[in-house]
Amino acid sequence: MALDTTYWQVRSDKTIRYIGGDHTTATANYVSVLELHRFLQDLGDNASVANDDYMDITTLNPSDKKFDTIITLTNGYTLDDAYTTPASEFIFQGSIIQGVDGVDEEIYDGIKIVSNRGVIVNVIQDNAVLANKFWNSIPDGESFAGINPDPANGVAMQFMVKVKAADAEIDNATLLFNTREWGKTYSEFRIPSTGRGENTVPLTFAADLNNTTAGATIDSWSTIANITEGWNEIDVNQDTTNEEYYAEWNRDTYSINQFYERMKRITENGSTTQLYGMDGELFRGITHSLETDAEAGGSWVEGGATPVSWGTGATAGTGQILANADTGNILYIQLLTGVVPTDSMLLTQGGVTATTIASNSVLEKTVSTPMCGASTGSSLVGSYGFSLEYADLAVNDKIQALDGTTRQPPNNVQFSVGGIQPGYYILVGPEDGSGGLAYDQLSNDALLDQAGTTEVVVTEAIPDNTPTSGSIRIERADGQYTRHDYSAVAIGTRTFTITSEDFDTNNAAADANIFISYIDEASVGTSINYNTVQTSTQTLYVEARFGGTGPNYTDSIKPAASTGTLGTTGGSATLSPVSDA
């Protein structure tokens, strides 16, 4: 669009004012930095002041062109950003450098967003989202957001951002751009220090097919929570060795994709949900690890109100501590402002200090958008250092620990029993091949006849899908099958660790029957379940009994039994109890 002289004026105080329409009107007049320069130079060759422009051949030169995209306003001329419609908002395709008599330099740098039309862009400067998002305006006659688009070249919008004021760069001239609109893909691009001219910013903006639930619905999913915010250890792949993470989330009863949507909701544009001491819309996850010597003056605080800081001037920066390694003196941070520290640099958080080691102390990490990673619809491809608690993970989830290695959990599945009521006693055990309970699933390896027994060894190999804790039933000398809770199972040594039990007066003979009772308790709801690791198919025996309550026993049922199949995707059984009132 060519510069319309009726919408621009040069005032007697040397301010260049825009007096056209705002961003949504037909009279909005956007001009390139080169067009502005040509306009000023054209006024400067006039014989006398004309119209409302106080400039002619007798006035000092207002501007200088180094390149077509870099214009310097000279001799005290400046853009009028204090007026109702700030002049800088209507200039694009380059940089404007200005100052008063060569001091108090200010710089506006050009930004070109390469993305789909309609993208909504946030600009984060000095760890704050710029409130005046004029670049997202919908121009008159357009159906897409974004000023100065160039669709033929994939440009969604073009504008300028002030990166230097009063002779000091704002946040080292760093700008972070992101897209965090509901139902759309999230993306970000960081410019560590803008360059003069026009800076290209590539962003993605498309429908997210795994993000279709109404935001108001997701707001009610408040039981999804980060149960360990900061350094923690989880054995994701169940190899008996814990890995290290900075988050351990509980997704409660929600699916993995619902969890993914919740993570997007609490970090979308405008979110004030607190994560590690910052608003959700600013949270990105770990951006860097810092290896240091031992801290002095106390201990680092993860999250919280005080970030860690370092350097001065051009070397200054701050970061939020997301995890403090228990061993190795490594801080995992999200960079907030400035530049990352260098080797042998002092870090400070309140009274706590440490120094980065002499070489290779700072490592950059890949940031995911959204911060939790990606959803396939049924599984999570997790971001760096991010995890759910082990019980909430499934075999297709891919979780990346702080050591950079991606691991997958074993095939965690669930077996559920439905068609029941609160108070029914539910027994789920192995099936004997003819629809009954397999009392002889396992057998006792040696006589149990001592008080204080805490270990039960069986003759057969313990099935691989045995839950890590639960209960077993043991045949006693008097013929009853007593229930025993176990807290650990050692498949290799065929041993169950049980709660201390006296077998001295009612022993369990060698070869006595033993079976695993996968569910062995009264129900508190209309369904009951258990979790295990499953790699094959197993048939289970399921039974419910309830003798009723009150003098008339109106709630009584006849014993209800059935079978169910547990496979690699889980399983279920539904009972149909008949009244015995």
Summarize pLDDT for 294-345 with one digit per residue, the tens. Answer: 999 999 999 988 999 999 999 999 999 999 997 779 999 999 999 999 999 9
What's the average model confidence in pLDDT over 21-25? 95
Beta-carbon neighbour count of residue 437 at 10 Å? 21
- The two most distant CA atoms of the chain are separated, in Å, by 120
Q: Which helix (H) or strand (E) holds 34?
A: helix 33-44
Angle at 529 between CA 528 and CA 533, to 5 degrees: 175
In this predicted structure, what is the pLDDT of residue 52?
80
| pLDDT exceeds 80 at position 242 | yes
Token code pair at residue 432: 């004997």
Band of the pLDDT at 551, cuts 50, 70, 90? low
In this predicted structure, what is the pLDDT of residue 360?
84
What's the average model confidence in pLDDT over 548-576? 88
pLDDT digits (tens, 9 = 90+) for 467-477: 989 999 999 99
pLDDT digits (tens, 9 = 90+) for 481-514: 999 999 999 988 999 999 999 999 999 999 999 9
Beta-carbon neighbour count of residue 412 at 10 Å? 18
Question: Are 559 and 575 contacting, i.e. CB atoms less than 8 angstroms apart?
Answer: no
| pLDDT exceeds 80 at position 221 | yes
Number of helices and strands (H, E) in the chain?
3, 44
Q: Which residue has the tokens 């959990």?
A: 409
What's the average model confidence in pLDDT over 190-205? 97
Distance (Å, whole) CA 107 – CA 130 = 17
In this predicted structure, what is the pLDDT of residue 102?
61
pLDDT digits (tens, 9 = 90+) for 451-463: 999 999 999 999 9
CA-CA-CA-CA dihedral for 65, 70, 74, 76, to nearest 10? 160
Question: Are 512 and 473 contacting, i.e. CB atoms less than 8 angstroms apart?
Answer: no
Distance (Å, whole) CA 266 – CA 220 = 12
What's the average model confidence in pLDDT over 436-448? 98
pTM summary value: 0.79
Chain centre distance of CA 269: 13
Question: Are 256 and 397 contacting, i.e. CB atoms less than 8 angstroms apart?
Answer: yes
Share of the chain above pLDDT 70, in %: 99
Domain locations in the chain?
1-207, 215-281+369-410, 287-364, 413-574
What's the average model confidence in pLDDT over 528-535? 90
Average pLDDT taken over every residue of the chain: 95
Band of the pLDDT at 147, cuts 50, 70, 90? very high
Band of the pLDDT at 49, cuts 50, 70, 90? confident
Strand segments (E) across 431-556: 442-443, 453-457, 470-475, 481-490, 495-501, 513-517, 519-522, 527-533, 538-546
Pairing of strands 513-517, 519-522: unpaired
Strand segments (E) across 103-181: 103-114, 122-125, 128-129, 155-165, 168-169, 175-179
At a CB cut-off of 8 Å and minimum separation 6, what does 565 contact?
537, 538, 539, 540, 571
The residue length of the chain stands at: 581
Band of the pLDDT at 60, cuts 50, 70, 90? very high
